[in-house]
Amino acid sequence: MRIADFLSPQAVVADMQARTKAEVLRELSATLVRAHPTLREDRLVAVLQEREKLGSTGIGEGVAIPHGKLAGMDSLQAAFCVSRTGVDFESIDGKPTHLFFALVAPENSAGVHLKALARISRLFKNPRFRAAILEAPSAADIHALIVQEDARP
């Protein structure tokens, strides 16, 4: 499984406008809906909010991976947004979060969901990669960087 299998270029935002955690979840959901019009934004927001109640998905180093499962989906879908200013996402390191990778999986897809989370987490551990994403000028450039980095062995 490659990230390009579930992250379309249309689901990438180079300069998100959200300034709060709630706004981030709404903007990620809206981004997913733009790329996949059959999804419902209100349901996506609810799923992501429900997961955040268990504990922040801000994994540190400026990265958060909000995620959840949604009934009626037939495949894994993702959105990726960059906040140039950073958002207090209650991250485990207490630092502002700049890189948001939302992942929504079909309700009965534990294996695929966990593999995708692990792959994303591994990718964003690389500080040079995170810096390159923050410096990328456009959504197309960001998507290309993610696909390129994910293709490395």
Q: Is 67 a catalytic residue?
A: yes
Crossing angle (nearest 10°) for helices 139-151 and 127-135:
160
CB atoms within 10 A of CB 99: 21
- Judged on CB neighbours under 10 Å (0-12, 13-18, 19+), 128 is exposed
Catalytic residue among 67, 98, 113, 143: 67
Residues 26 and 136: their CA atoms lie apart, in Å, by 23
Residues classed as catalytic: 67
